[in-house]
Amino acid sequence: MASGGIAVAAVVSCDVPGSVPGSDGGQRLELLLDEPATIDPALVAQPQESTIADALFEPLIRVGEGGAAHPAAADSWQITDAGHAYQFNLSANGRWTSGEAVASDDFVWAWRRNLAPELGATFNYLLFPIRGAESYAGGGRNREVPEVRAPDTSTLRVHLGAPTPGFLARAATSTFVPLPRAEIEGTGASWTEPIRIRSNGPYKLAQWDRSLGMTLHRNEHYGGPKPPQFSDVVIRFPRSADSRLQDFHASPAHAASVSGADYRSALANADLRPQVRLFERAGTWFIVFNTRKAPWDTLAVRRALSLALDREALTAAVFDQPTLPAQRLTPESILAAEPGGAPNVDEARALLASAGFPNGEGLPPLRFTYHRTDQWDRLAAELARVWADTLGVAVQPDVREWRDFLDFSNAPGDFDAYRAGWTSEYRHPSNWLDDLWRSDVDFFRAGWSSTEFDRHLETAATTTDAEAQRTAYAAAAALLETETPAIAIGRHASAFLLKPDVTGFGIDPVSGAIDLAQVALDA
């Protein structure tokens, strides 16, 4: 044990990124994260990669709950032509780390570059609402040119193929940030090295020592709406796959991401457990009903099964990965609403009786389809126990191997209920309500439809007023909860260890990136 302690001390005290002098003597934040495979905004896919990319690059706008847009690289925008056209007016304060002004052409070039099929951008499809974008991404001699234009250095004009309610939220993702054309064309993949990279965000990349860590300095040229609070952000990488907890304990790191075995070990450690915090990710695990099939086509039956579940207890019994109880189908980080989903066994029994199945009598066993893992075996067992104890409802497990389950979920056919899930692609209600539950979409093949629900979505799609759109989506989400075509059981989450001097912390619920603007340290 003594030699292990000496080894940790040696790693912490040697000349790693944490020893780089501060750029202006301000407060320094230290993080323990996995080393990113890339920090190219078009290619990032993991939370630690997005943390770096978000710190270095500023999108046109940033979005909050409900898809509310806030100025970033653009200080204003207009939506015209019944939602087909967008104009972004760039901030006069936008600067690259070199001090040069960010121009609208920097966005035009970046978006076309990210659409190019040879690049293989992770989320290039988020650009597809732009007229001609999908054709351009397909390649070929006759491909169209995306309709994004720069009539002058501070104006960006975009034309969509059809009104897209979530387009502003898409524009807040890393796929849409401006990029330094000269460096990328001049140096290729090595353009992200500290000596070459030019970015427009609140921080600049000062150092990247492979397998050791990275250092970000405050960008002195940044003129965005929210000045960076830290003079330096130091990212240390774990020394090995199984050293993360020891590294966090021994290093000056204020926060460390944990998952898998590290997460379970931290919860089992009396010293570390109080420092574990979970933060909601915009992803949900569902139980989807076949609303075409009796008796699951009866609302009272579906509502009874939902009301009988204690999500807190269910999450604790089933999940050994970072997961929060899900009280609603749509995540709170996407669309906030009044608390719901609290268990009420008495009401559940009354509903089941009103449907003609008192104490579950006469109700056929619910065939629950899922793929074989320890986690989903636990879920099936817990559902069977709770529903039998509270309602007298039997569960019949229908266990599939993974490939068979994939085929099933693409075309479920005759089923009662099955395990499903969804993860946000961008932070907007349309990515949940339109893309999953609209009657002509029926993503989960639940067979549920509602003209009233569709009417709310139509209102949201045809208005350019942000508050009217949010109101329409809130009404649609409330109706969805009432109709219960599916039951939300768990919300995806990210887990972090936080030292006691961390007084504020937050993440982007879609990418999982640490939101440095939300981090606060005790002075």
Per-residue pLDDT for 385 more than 90? yes
**pLDDT per residue as tens digits for the range 407-419:** 999 999 999 999 9
On whether residue 269 sits in a domain, the answer given is no
**Do 353 and 417 belong to one domain?**
yes
Question: Token pair 């250092």 is at which residue?
Answer: 215
**Do 246 and 305 belong to one domain?**
no
Which pLDDT value is given to residue 140? 82
Per-residue pLDDT for 20 more than 60? no
403: left (phi over 0), alpha (psi -120 to 50) or beta: alpha
Taking the C-alpha atoms of residue 237 and residue 41, their distance in angstroms, rounded to an integer, is 20
Say if CB 87 and CB 159 are below 8 A apart. Answer: no
Say if CB 449 and CB 441 are below 8 A apart. Answer: no
State the pLDDT confidence band at 467, using cuts at 50, 70 and 90.
very high
On whether residue 275 sits in a domain, the answer given is no
Mean pLDDT confidence for 203-225: 95
Question: Token pair 């597809």 is at which residue?
Answer: 128
Per-residue pLDDT for 490 more than 50? yes
On whether residue 7 sits in a domain, the answer given is yes
Residue 195: burial class (beta carbons within 10 Å; 0-12, 13-18, 19+): exposed
Which pLDDT value is given to residue 15? 40
Mean pLDDT confidence for 223-242: 93
**Do 321 and 396 belong to one domain?**
yes
Which pLDDT value is given to residue 1? 32
**Residue 506 CB: number of other CB atoms within 10 A?**
14
**Residue 258 CB: number of other CB atoms within 10 A?**
25
**Do 231 and 310 belong to one domain?**
no
**Do 90 and 148 belong to one domain?**
yes
Say if CB 511 and CB 498 are below 8 A apart. Answer: no
DSSP run (H or E) holding 246: helix 244-250
On whether residue 218 sits in a domain, the answer given is yes
CATH number for position 31: 3.40.190.10
Say if CB 397 and CB 383 are below 8 A apart. Answer: no
On whether residue 327 sits in a domain, the answer given is yes
CATH number for position 134: 3.90.76.10
User: What does the CA dihedral 73, 78, 82, 83 come to, rounded to 10 degrees?
Assistant: 10
**pLDDT per residue as tens digits for the range 29-88:** 999 999 999 999 999 999 999 999 999 999 999 999 999 999 999 999 999 999 999 999
DSSP symbol at 205: E
Length of the chain as a residue count: 523
**Do 350 and 227 belong to one domain?**
no
Strands 417-423 and 276-289: antiparallel
144: left (phi over 0), alpha (psi -120 to 50) or beta: beta
Q: Is 134 helix (H, G, I), strand (E, B) or coil?
A: helix
Which pLDDT value is given to residue 22? 52
CATH number for position 407: 3.10.105.10
**Residue 16 CB: number of other CB atoms within 10 A?**
18
Mean pLDDT confidence for 420-429: 97
**pLDDT per residue as tens digits for the range 151-174:** 999 999 999 999 999 999 999 999
**Do 312 and 422 belong to one domain?**
yes
Which pLDDT value is given to residue 291? 98
In terms of residue numbers, what domain contains 238? Answer: 2-37+201-254+499-521
**Residue 274 CB: number of other CB atoms within 10 A?**
11
Model confidence, pTM:
0.92
Determine phi and psi for 78, rounding to 5 degrees: -130, 145
Domain boundary among 115, 147, 178: 178
Mean pLDDT, all residues of the chain: 93
DSSP symbol at 517: G
**Do 131 and 166 belong to one domain?**
yes
Q: Tell me the sheet residues that pair with 496.
A: 257, 277
**Do 368 and 486 belong to one domain?**
yes
Residue 71: burial class (beta carbons within 10 Å; 0-12, 13-18, 19+): middle
Dihedral sign from CA coordinates of 46, 107, 427, 94: positive
Q: Tell me the sheet residues that pair with 89.
A: 76, 155
Which pLDDT value is given to residue 18? 41
On whether residue 323 sits in a domain, the answer given is yes
Taking the C-alpha atoms of residue 160 and residue 292, their distance in angstroms, rounded to an integer, is 36
**Do 167 and 206 belong to one domain?**
no
On whether residue 189 sits in a domain, the answer given is no
On whether residue 49 sits in a domain, the answer given is no
**Do 211 and 162 belong to one domain?**
no
Per-residue pLDDT for 13 more than 60? no
- CA distances in angstroms from 57 to 47, 49, 208, 330, 333, listed in the order given: 15, 12, 17, 29, 23
Q: Express as a percent the part of the chain with pLDDT over 70.
A: 95
- CA distances in angstroms from 329 to 66, 272, 276, 430, 475, listed in the order given: 14, 32, 26, 13, 14
Mean pLDDT confidence for 262-291: 97
Which pLDDT value is given to residue 23? 53
Which amino acid would we find at residue 183? E
DSSP run (H or E) holding 467: helix 466-483
Per-residue pLDDT for 97 more than 50? yes
Taking the C-alpha atoms of residue 313 and residue 379, their distance in angstroms, rounded to an integer, is 11
- CA distances in angstroms from 393 to 349, 383, 403, listed in the order given: 11, 10, 29
| Structural domains counted in the chain | 3
Poorest-pLDDT segment among 22-31, 55-64, 176-185, 252-261: 22-31
Q: Is 348 helix (H, G, I), strand (E, B) or coil?
A: helix
Which pLDDT value is given to residue 225? 87
**Do 147 and 233 belong to one domain?**
no
Poorest-pLDDT segment among 138-147, 281-290, 392-401: 138-147
State the pLDDT confidence band at 24, using cuts at 50, 70 and 90.
low
